A and B are shown apart, each in its own frame.
Chain A
Amino acid sequence: MPQNYTAALGEAVRARDLVMLGLTGGRFGLRRASATERARVDDALRRVGAQDYADRRMSELSGGQQQRVAIAQAIVDDAELLLLDEPLANLDLRNQHEVVTLLGELTRERRVTVMVVAHDLNPLLPVLTDAVYLLDGHPHHDPIDAVVTEDLLTHLYGTPVRVVRTAQGDLFTRGG
């Protein structure tokens, strides 16, 4: 899933076309998409809540809507592993929240493993279960609770980081 779509490319395809490419885009030769394939595209669009703007051009959609369509494209062929590069980039708070909720649903209900590259942990903390991180040049893997600690994050980021737990039990991190 890319970080964003340039205007020229988004102008050329509808959301529906982009999702269909996830299913048939690697196939050579001329063959119309089958009814089953179209149904799967509709299903993927519905799963991410993008059915209302399936026929609009990508360039007409907001950043959050584009992100939903991109996720629909990623899950349309029933992928078991999603690799997302900064899925929250350029999104406002509400869209960030909606995408995070969607990712949480996917992992819980669809048994999809989602791997996210992110520079800001906070919006993702509610759905993160594990973290892979590079420490002094070596990769490590730990449950998220073991990672979100002041000592480790301070060392990782190279700047003082504090971890705060709110009265509601939510975790968040802050610099300084």
Chain B
Amino acid sequence: MVTFQENWLQVLQTTFMQHALLGGSMVALAAGLMGWFVVTRQNAFAAHALAHIGFPGATGAILVGAPVTLGLAVFCVGGGLLIGLFGKRVADREVATGTILAFATGLGVLFASLATANASSTTTVLFGNLLAISRDQLWVFGGFTVLVVGVLAVIARPLVFASVDPTVAEARGVPVRALGVAFVVLLALTITMAVQVVGTLLLFALVVTPAAAALRMTARPGLVAAIAVAIALGSVWFGLVLSAMVNLPPSFFVTTLAVLTWAVTLLLTWDRVPRETPAPVLDAPQLVPDRSR
């Protein structure tokens, strides 16, 4: 039942809420910054897949009694590198990504059943649970966030070049391949965190959606990054407040707020959508083959 909690202000002050706010903010920062590259490099599907590839990592960790974050990180980074091996061609990558994704999800189910993990821990992996973040996890999150933001600051400019214009960047001596590998590892770390906030199934909303919305508003790279982070942060913060008010899972509110922002942006900027206008056709297309010739 949905009921309004009178004491939501007190709920916000509890330890688990504080952990959630802090952890969620770190994820939002990393995810918002990575989003621009995910969208521009057309890696959205890979990002989604990496989250699923983390699923057997998480359930495998439960199976052997290792920390879930470790299992997620190992599988996400490994999966990312594996996908990266499959050529530059988007078409090849899509197929490889999808195949690895299916295999990983299968493994995840196997591990979950071997570990006799109860349904709730599997649900946590799939949908995330921001309210269950421990103090130890926060330290790991902090390390990951510092790493992602720090490395990104150093490689941002060449990575932008390599993402927007790979052939010219390579011709100018930018190490395009090495940057690609570095990017995948950063993405894997970001996803390792984000999965624990919104789960493997809802990850898209934090990593891709804010950046996509920001890109509609402006094309200034710095501003896009700032807006994407702001949208992600806003979604996490207000999502937590709403979840405290009505005692429902924060994942729902976080994703819904991000998606709403994106949808509203899309509507407001609809007139600026550069639509593909078909070239004027001089000869009417022939639907029926001309047999007279």
Contacts and interface: CB of A to CB of B under 8 A. Distances in A.
Interface in A1-57: 1-2, 5, 7-9, 11-14, 17-18, 21-22, 24-30, 57
Nearest to A3: B167
A5 B276 CA distance: 14
Contacts, number: 81
Contacts of B160: 13, 21, 25
A30 B161 contact: no
A24 B164 contact: no
Contacts of A67: none
A96 interface: no
Nearest to B42: A8
B168 A12 contact: no
Contacts of A65: none
A59 interface: yes
Interface stretch (B45-53, B120-128, B150-158, B197-205): B150-158
Interface string B164-184: 110111011110000000000
Interface of B: 36, 39-40, 42, 153-158, 160-161, 163-165, 167-169, 171-174, 215, 219-221, 224, 274, 276
23 contacts: A7-B274, A11-B215, A12-B40, A12-B221, A13-B160, A13-B164, A13-B219, A18-B165, A22-B168, A24-B157, A25-B158, A25-B161, A25-B174, A26-B169, A26-B172, A27-B158, A28-B154, A28-B157, A28-B158, A29-B153, A30-B154, A73-B168, A83-B171
Given A8-B39, A21-B161, A22-B168, 11 more contacts: A2-B167, A8-B40, A12-B215, A18-B165, A21-B164, A21-B169, A27-B157, A28-B157, A59-B274, A73-B168, A83-B171
